[in-house]
Structure 1
């Protein structure tokens, strides 16, 4: 089979693209983001130090201790809190917003009930094939708050 002059270029381009995609899906700690269905994230999660989160199938959540450690700067309530959760979904034009209709995703937004003096902004990135939820401020850097929720056993 004759070789074309483009074959090495195509191979190199594919290798570069694969490398870039792999790098984009990992954070600085090597945690790889994962897109999972909702049933993979529902349940009870803990991050240590009394920080706990329960995500229900009806897209509601309860939480406690969200003002501990690295989460203190998020403005989240320290005691019992609740609200709604949803995956972020692409709305086109580079706009990502939470959508209760999204059946799967790699980032979860928490929307808290009730009013607060300080708005709580908390996004969870799904990593480790759905075994870990990382708290993050920057969706481009999963786990940047260094708070990892693991499923309660």
Structure 2
């Protein structure tokens, strides 16, 4: 009887899809290294990424890690870019700009993203946002309906 349970369990596992879409709806970013690990896992799994809302800061690393043909944007999508920083708690609490971190971020972005950032004056502490429209579509294709 135990053998039958194992066989049924294995059959159920094999009927599960190998991957699922990752839908980004409200991601304000975070630690860059964690996003690198996350998106490399997504890339390696073959998952598709649907940007269907806010993708700011470290979230935008998806653009340089997951293949372009595995990412699309909906009309609700927006991307936000700013220079990298570290959070400092001592001797004063605040954000400390990181030139090396900013260079690292920029090294991941594909050419259309770099072009847009350059046209907007480069990365600064202030968030620069691109929303649905020609600028965003130059970076990523709109999602086909079947996604």
- TM-score w.r.t. length of structure 2: 0.26
TM-score, normalised with respect to structure 1: 0.25
Q: Give the helix-richer structure, 1 or 2.
A: 2
